[in-house]
Each structure stands twice: as C-alpha cells, then as structure tokens.
Structure 1
C-alpha cells in the first residue's frame, strides 16, 4: 500500500499517480507514466509523455509538476479615497531566496480548497483583511508559474468601505498566520512596485490592472 496511491493521504486522496493519464486535448502529447514523487499537503509528480514535434519526430520527455491546488486573489479598493487594502505577512520561500526579511506586501489570497473561486476569495478577504466583500468583479485567470506549478489563480477586484470592514482580520492563528493590514494610497502602492517594496506577482498584476483598466484608470 502506498500513501496517495491506494491508501488515503492526510487529505483523504487516492489515485494521485493517475492524474494526466486520460488527457486527450492535445493529439501531439500522450502521457505514458505518472510517478508520485511526494504527497504531503501538496503533490509532486514526475510525468513521462511522448511528444510529437513539428517535424513529425516523437520524443519521450519528463516533467515534474507541483500541484498545490488552484487559488484566488482580490484587490480591495476605495475609488473615492484612492486607497487599496493590502496584507503583509512572512513568506519563507521568498526569505530563503533573497528577500531581505520575507515580509511580503500582497493582495488577499488563498487556495480554493473545496470552494468555488468567488466563495474562496470572500473567505480569504474576511480572514486576512476583515472585509465583508459585496459585489465581485472577475478580472482574469492566470497560470502563475506554468513551467512547473499547476496552480491557476482567479483574480478579482471589489470595493471596500469602513462599513464593510466588519472584523479585525489578521489571518487564522491556528494556521500560523499573522497578517498586518495595510491601507495605502493607490499612487503610493504603485510607487512601491518601482522601488521593490511590493515584489509579489499577483499584487503587481492587480495594481497595474487597476491603473490601466480598473477603478483608477484614466
């Protein structure tokens, strides 16, 4: 018995070694084998596939993919006051890869788990920033690191006000979260991209969208 294959892992999953074997959308790709490399909270697979190139030659290739599920993120804004509501929290992967202190400024975000994207991002906005989100605007969906990570992130935006800030936020302590809430002038937030104080991809994308096509365009 192998955990994640024929024995449930800590999240109750089995058959993790079969993901991708039934793919038929691209006739030039035929998956031949899937190896479960690691199955912790997230999943690492090594997949072997035959690839038919433009010259008609077939080669056998391997890719390792990290599957952490899909996620959602949201830019909360007050158009009248020209402010945005962001979070700041410790991110060890950034810290170990050269960020000075690992404290990243970000839009609220989280994994979908078993929820749909809209439900998930409402949950995350409440937990992290203390905001009860009203009407959502779907902005776009993005594969953030398609060379190795399967995650697709659903991007949203929504207005906030003093009335919608119904709790203290700060994250879920039981999950090790300790989140600072930052209310910034939008122009200041844009400047923080230029000087490197905001270095998170999803946050940069949503701030740039807000400036070009969103609530602060024009």
Structure 2
C-alpha cells in the first residue's frame, strides 16, 4: 500500500544508544500538532529488522505445529520458567518474507514446506519496536518432516517442536499457557476463517 509521507513530522536527529545485538536509536523530531504548533519530541526505537511467522496446520488430523523455547525478556517480566509456546518465526535476514519463513520452518520444526499463504503484515509493538511481521499459514503432512528441527546450534537455539490438536492450542490461550501475540493471532485467524 502506497502512503504519502507525513509532512507533520521532521526528523532532527538520530542517535545510536546501543548496537550490541540489534540497534537502539533515540530519534528526536518535530511534530506539528492539531493546534498548529510544532513540538519537539524524542522517542527510542529498537530496530531488529523485519520478520515472518507461520502457523502449520493439518486439516485431516486437526492439528497445528508450534514450538517451545526459552525467552529471556519474558523470564525477567514474570514468566517464571521463561519458556514460551509460539508459532514458528524468524527474522528476514535480507530474504524476502516467503523464502525466510520456508527456511525458518525447516530449521525450527523440521518440516519442508513448499506452498505458503501470506495473510497479513503487522507492526507488533509500534510504540517502541520498528519490526513488521509478515504472517503466513501452510498445510503440513507428516511426509514433509525431513529433520528433527530444533533450530540452529550456532544461533544458540534450542527449540522443542510441538504437534497439538487445534482445540488444545485454543484452550492454552484461555488458560494462559500461550501468551505470545503472533501465535494467538495466527490461531484465531485459522479458527475465524474456518480452516480448522
């Protein structure tokens, strides 16, 4: 979708605060308020690149493939064991979204998929993170399982692959066992569209 540049915003300065893992910048800008006055504001924006996420589903068995892994930010914010159940996802790493999600699916889950359907693009935390996430769904079968999955060792990934009945996955949202936004959105999309 083509959008016009917002003429009510003038960026004054960009300062890199950290570039250890990804990049945290302080952006200072002028913003034209509705009353006609320009106001100087500053915000921090965390740039980790864009990503893609996918929900694999099996119509015959009414199951979905999810993953479980340790997530440090959740551990320091109330998730006592730090483990999160999530849909497969990853950063684009200069790939197009479709190639990225096919690669991530094989690395994380062990399923080699060829056909994916893109369903939406979403800013997951627009107040502080620049990332746009590309959402996909795809059918899977057990014949597509080519490896055990589990992620890439040199990326320090240790991912457990879960095959769950769709109904159980939906109940896990209600019980709080699934608290990941992208996963909830994908599960609800599949349910709302009567795919499973």
Query: When the two structures are superposed, what TM-score results if normalisation uses the length of structure 1?
Result: 0.87
Alignment of 1:209 with 2:196, yes or no, is no
Structure 1 residue 100: deviation in Å?
2.1
Relative distance call for 1:189 and 1:44 in structure 2 (3 A) is same
The reply on whether 1:70 has 2:55 as its aligned counterpart is no
Distance 2:67 2:60 in 1: 21
Q: Once the two structures are superposed, what CA deviation does each residue of 1:42-82 show, in whole Å capped at 9, x if it has no partner?
A: 10111111110111011000011000000000000001110
Decide which of 163, 173, 180 is 1:183's aligned counterpart: 163
- The CA deviation at 1:40 is 1.8
Residue 32 of structure 1 corresponds to 12
Distance 2:153 2:12 in 1: 43
Alignment partners' CA distance in 1, 2:20 and 2:37: 37
Q: Aligned to 1:147, which of 127, 130, 149?
A: 127
Larger Rg: 1
Q: Which runs of 5+ in 1 are unaligned?
A: 1-23
Alignment of 1:51-200 (within 5 A): 51-200=31-180
Q: What's the TM-score, normalizing by structure 2?
A: 0.96
2: CA distance between counterparts of 1:65 and 1:213?
34
Moved over 6 A (4+): none
The count of aligned residue pairs is 193
Equivalent position of 1:5 in the other structure: none
